[in-house]
Structure 1
Amino acid sequence: MTTAAARTATSAAAVTTTPLGTRRTPLLTLLPRDGALAWVRRGEGMVGWGEADRLEVSGPGALTEAADWWAQRCADTEVHDPVGVPGSGPVLFASVAFDPAVGTSVFVVPEVVVGRRDGCTWVTVTGDADDEQLTVVETSTQHAATSIGRLAYADGALDAMAWCGAVAAAVARIDAGELDKVVLARDLLVTADRPLDPRRLLLRLAERFPDTWTFAVDGLLGATPELLLRRTGRELDARVLAGTAPRGAGAEDDRLAAGLQSSVKDHAEHAYAVDSLADALRPFVDDLVVPEQPIVLTLPNVRHLASDVRGRQRDDDATGLLELVGAVHPTAAVCGSPTDTAARVIAELEGMDRGRYAGPVGWLDARGDGEFGLALRCAELTGADGGRQARLFAGCGIVADSDPIAELAETQAKLAAFQAALED
């Protein structure tokens, strides 16, 4: 099934990119309250607002259909782009369902995009670029990001005890030889006294987790540490995360870091994730570079084993970024191994519809460049109860040596990243 909501008045409108030099207004402070779109890391990236066009699509060929739709829209668009860098000119923000064949994926063409790369800032407008749109980058809306008052939390699909039972059941199936790894997630519901302001949440996430990619697309927002796939010209790269340890204080923190680095269980979990991505990329690339050993990525709340994978897309391969994303997703980092078996176990044990959680999220430009992360450490602003409710998500990889209580603690540490943004 496919649904599309296109505004025909702007479907073939001109796209104009205007350089703004080295202006340093923080990108996330430019966002309006409604319709925020964002992809920002270390102060660079893009924010957008307004909808010049929109596609919602589901079904077995969802990403191919979206790629064709975007290609046709770009072909029909007159573009003036003197900046000429990845992310300038026409841009599409995307949030893909964890299972695109079943869930609904959302693609948005903003009316206005403000981007920054290597210190250079620009604004892209679809349609007529009036003075108000071009001067918006001078105005910070940070002062309007209001407090949300008290928060009330409630269990999602499974309470803590039931989720631990699901983990134990998954370990039993792994021990029986049915699969090697499965990623189980849980959700947490939150209701605030006042409507949740996405700008406030994005600013807090970016401040606390500057080394992650802070994102927002159609009410799904978060700060992901995992880069599923980036394409720049013919160059492809990804950051794979699997294997996690909490942070501690002083000597305890050092002990936990050393424990992660030496953990056989965490290294096995990580290897499944790296191998699944590498195997999916090999048909498309030359000279795939896969590290022999992961590094330890340190974030304020947790540490991860991380591997940066890179390669060059073959010159004779015409596969676009959206189709490449479809080819590599889901990796074992968010699903498991073997993929089909893990997906079935998730459906049987997790007790919830992931929607766009753990799906690809990011952006694509008219040149075919773009970046897609995995929608992790995130929440969906549901719009329920006057915009006061959100659904938070966290998951972890389950392997033969997994302990349900330890895995529950890992999800709590991951949920704490978003809870801190809510509670600051």
Structure 2
Amino acid sequence: MTIAPALAPLVARTVAISDPGPLLSLLPPGPGLSWVRRGEGLVGWGEAMRITGEGETRFGSVARTWAETARHAVVRDEVRLPGTGPVAFGSFAFSAGSPAGGVLIVPEVVVGFRGDTWWLTTISADGALPAPVALTSYERELTAPQDTQFVPGALDPQEWKAAVAEAIGRIGAGEVEKVVLARDVLAHTVDDVDPRDLLARLATGYPNCWTFSVDGLIGATPEMLVKLERGLVTSRVLAGTIRRTQNDEQDLALAASLARSSKDLEEHEYAVRSVAEALAPHCTTTNVPDSPFVLHLPNVMHLATDVTGVLADGATSLDLAAALHPSAAVCGTPTPAAAKLIESVEGMDRGRYAGPVGWVDAAGDGEWGIALRCAALTDENPRRLRLFAGCGIVAGSDPEAELAESEAKLLPIRGALSR
């Protein structure tokens, strides 16, 4: 079901402002929205409007309602950059069968920063001009939670390795070429988790990732599913991973071995191909580099490829995210068969893990990452979080090695929740 826009149009005003301090420090207590990388991006709070969708139509119904809302919005935009004017932050379930569905949240206040430009957008859903807003910095010393307990989720490590082994066997039998299996871990904290502290620790530890918060899903993703800006389409594909040692010389050797690994190159090729094929119908031209580069993150290194294109059909960033989801990087190849294999062996509902997360503006421009390196926090229990990690499984995979890779991918969010 989709919540329709209010009878009165959205009214939004964007003005340029002077530097108010780090974006994440501006978030007040309570549910907040963020999309920040290297100090730039967007944060928002309050809720002028919420649009939800379910099942197979979760993308299409939400996108149509947002397009209709944006079309009738009354906008005064003195900055005119992507991300100014009315903006909606969104998050979508990985699977059509998940009750998590999809959501777009239009905040009452948005603060943005890009290059040397700061802006403030205020949004009202009652047809009236929004009241002025005074910004406050809530920056404070961060202290990580103490005595956090981590326990297995749907499958314990041995059970998950058995699921990986089964997937390898079914790959050998020809059911799929690649499948991505995820696992979850539950975190129990002594004190209530303040999402702002979690975001700040992730942004500090992983500045090259997109630190996000949408409707209780919090994380720092290294993977840009799609970015649309004034007709230029970009997608960053990550597939093929190796854990870092924190020794520069050893890490360089590992990066070289990753770049030559037939298993990882095969996994990466599947992911790149799925993205290029999904973008092709929407673009006049698509550029795919001949070989990947190695992306260095604090905890792991990935094979990475940036696919670009020129938009041809007027699709919005949300439309493109829907067309790309799920890519081989988070599902497998062939996608329908891989999705069925995930349902049969993974043993859990991913919720919005590995689904698109990001933002869209009234013009359709926006940025959508894949919700990785993240945790789900519920209002019902602010001391319980669900953490996720996934690994691409191909014929040459080893269950023990895949478990180790999943542990490495859990480090960002796990480290943000413990000393």
TM superposition score category, shorter chain reference = over 0.9
Paired letter, 2:362: A
Q: Post-superposition shift, 1:291?
A: 0.7
Paired letter, 1:4: I
Paired letter, 1:271: E
- Name the residue aligned to 2:288: 290
Range that drifts further, 47-56 or 375-384: 375-384
What does the per-residue CA deviation read over 1:160-182, in whole Å, with 9 as the maximum and x for residues that have no partner? 00000000000000111111000
Paired letter, 2:307: V
Paired letter, 1:222: G
Inter-CA distance 27–53: structure 2 relative to 1 (3 Å threshold): same
Paired letter, 2:291: Q
Q: Post-superposition shift, 1:5?
A: 7.8
Q: 1:113 aligns with which of 110, 113, 117?
A: 110
- Name the residue aligned to 2:74: 78
**Aligned mates of 2:248, 2:307 — CA distance in 1:** 32
What does the per-residue CA deviation read over 1:225-253, in whole Å, with 9 as the maximum and x for residues that have no partner? 00000101111001000000000124332
Q: Post-superposition shift, 1:47?
A: 0.2
- Name the residue aligned to 1:380: 376
Is 1:173 aligned with 2:174? Answer: no
Report if aligned partners of 2:188, 2:384 keep a CA contact under 8 Å in 1.
yes
Unaligned runs of at least 5 residues, structure 1:
none
Paired letter, 1:143: R
Paired letter, 2:306: D
- Name the residue aligned to 2:56: 60
Alignment of 1:95-134 (within 5 A): 95-100=91-96, 102-103=98-99, 104-127=101-124, 128-131=129-132, 133=133
Paired letter, 1:18: V
**Aligned mates of 1:33, 1:398 — CA distance in 2:** 41
Q: 1:397 aligns with which of 389, 392, 395?
A: 392
Is 1:218 aligned with 2:215? Answer: yes
Inter-CA distance 322–100: structure 2 relative to 1 (3 Å threshold): farther
Q: Post-superposition shift, 1:13?
A: 3.7
Report if aligned partners of 2:2, 2:61 keep a CA contact under 8 Å in 1.
no
Paired letter, 1:16: R
Paired letter, 2:414: Q
**Aligned mates of 1:26, 1:307 — CA distance in 2:** 30
Paired letter, 1:362: G
Range that drifts further, 54-63 or 139-148: 139-148
Q: Post-superposition shift, 1:382?
A: 2.2
Q: Post-superposition shift, 1:24?
A: 5.4
Report if aligned partners of 1:335, 1:342 keep a CA contact under 8 Å in 2.
yes
Q: 1:356 aligns with which of 333, 349, 352?
A: 352
**Aligned mates of 1:66, 1:269 — CA distance in 2:** 32
**Aligned mates of 1:266, 1:229 — CA distance in 2:** 22
Report if aligned partners of 1:276, 1:331 keep a CA contact under 8 Å in 2.
yes
SS in 2 for 1:177: coil
Report if aligned partners of 2:300, 2:409 keep a CA contact under 8 Å in 1.
yes
Q: Post-superposition shift, 1:140?
A: 1.5
SS in 1 for 2:140: helix
Q: Post-superposition shift, 1:319?
A: 2.5
SS in 2 for 1:33: coil
Q: How many corresponding residue pairs?
A: 413
SS in 2 for 1:61: helix
What does the per-residue CA deviation read over 1:395-423, in whole Å, with 9 as the maximum and x for residues that have no partner? 01000000000000000001011111112
Unaligned runs of at least 5 residues, structure 2:
none
Q: 1:157 aligns with which of 132, 151, 154?
A: 154
- Name the residue aligned to 2:190: 193
SS in 2 for 1:415: helix
Q: Post-superposition shift, 1:144?
A: 7.9
- Name the residue aligned to 2:272: 274
Paired letter, 1:393: F
**Aligned mates of 1:250, 1:13 — CA distance in 2:** 52
- Name the residue aligned to 1:4: 3
Is 1:148 aligned with 2:145? Answer: yes
**Aligned mates of 1:102, 1:203 — CA distance in 2:** 29
**Aligned mates of 1:263, 1:189 — CA distance in 2:** 33
Alignment of 1:199-214 (within 5 A): 199-214=196-211
What does the per-residue CA deviation read over 1:282-339, in whole Å, with 9 as the maximum and x for residues that have no partner? 111122100110000000000000000001011xx13232222111110000000000
Is 1:417 aligned with 2:416? Answer: no
Report if aligned partners of 2:180, 2:342 keep a CA contact under 8 Å in 1.
yes
SS in 2 for 1:32: coil
SS in 2 for 1:380: strand
Report if aligned partners of 1:145, 1:199 keep a CA contact under 8 Å in 2.
no
Report if aligned partners of 2:228, 2:316 keep a CA contact under 8 Å in 1.
no
The CA RMSD over aligned residues, in Å, is: 1.5
Identity %: 50
**Aligned mates of 2:159, 2:29 — CA distance in 1:** 37
Paired letter, 1:130: A
**Aligned mates of 2:372, 2:387 — CA distance in 1:** 10
Inter-CA distance 378–297: structure 2 relative to 1 (3 Å threshold): same
Report if aligned partners of 1:61, 1:101 keep a CA contact under 8 Å in 2.
no
Report if aligned partners of 1:63, 1:100 keep a CA contact under 8 Å in 2.
no
- Name the residue aligned to 2:254: 256
What does the per-residue CA deviation read over 1:341-364, in whole Å, with 9 as the maximum and x for residues that have no partner? 000000011100001000000000
Paired letter, 1:112: V
Paired letter, 2:131: D
Inter-CA distance 251–144: structure 2 relative to 1 (3 Å threshold): closer
Paired letter, 2:257: G
Q: 1:18 aligns with which of 15, 18, 22?
A: 15
